[in-house]
Amino acid sequence: MDKKEKILVVEDEEKIARVLELELEYEGYLVKKAMSGYEALEKYRSEKWDLILLDIMLPEMSGVEILRRIRSDDREVPVILLTAKDSVEDKVSGLDLGANDYVTKPFQIEELLARIRAALRHSAGLKQDEQDEEWLKVKDLFLNEKTREVKRAERQIELTPREFDLLVYLMKNHRQVLNREQILNAVWGFDYFGDTNVVDVYIRYLRKKVDGIGTDLLIHTIRGVGYVLREGK
């Protein structure tokens, strides 16, 4: 494990909490414990966690109520409930509120560890999917609308706000030939009054930065029509 995942163990039975702490630390996780409902919420809010092991029967506040509060501001952190055999209603309530899984006491530590690994893998996969969705990509050109990062062949490209908006429009319409009026309306707005040559000027600025020396051209001029962003000629 390159980066140690952090697990919050919420369990009021000291012996069980200690066993879980030792087993999880042996597996390479960073572990902190909370013995009551309020302590659990305090520790949850004070740090970022990769997974939470949450006992349902707790003093001060039930695990189901803690889960409800966690899910009110975090839909992503995996939560595995630790439940008693007869707490069917609590299991159903927990799953309805967004618990990822539950393990019934008494449990085999190997089964719990397997479920933790599965929950962490699933969470990592979702995060990767989200990261992939944030990037627009054409060949070796990458653009992130949230962070406003632009990279070509692993080098950072600095763009002005207007250049950035123009590149976003070209990349979202990858391989589509766009005339000046379409670009003007999309990037400058329908109420823009001015010379349409502004499009040519900004395409020129963008080319200098995106289609630098040593890289294949991506921004192409289609004579008599407009421009297109695509691989190849």
Q: What is the pLDDT of residues 187-205, one digit of tens each?
A: 998 666 677 789 999 999 9
- 169-184 as b/e, with b when 16 or more CB fall inside 10 Å? bbbebbeeebebebbb
DSSP one-letter string for 94-110: HHHTT--EEEESS--HH
Fill in the amino acid letter for 106: P
Q: With 0.75 as the threshold, say if the pTM is over it.
A: no
Q: Angle, to 10 degrees, between the axis of helix 161-172 and the axis of helix 197-210? A: 90
The pLDDT tens digits of the residues spanning 24-40 come to 999 999 999 999 999 99
Confidence of residue 214 (pLDDT cuts 50, 70, 90): low
CA-CA distance, 165 to 172, in Å (whole number)?
11
Asked if pLDDT for residue 161 goes beyond 50, the answer is yes
Q: Which domains does the chain have, with CATH numbers?
A: 6-132 (3.40.50.2300), 139-229 (1.10.10.10)
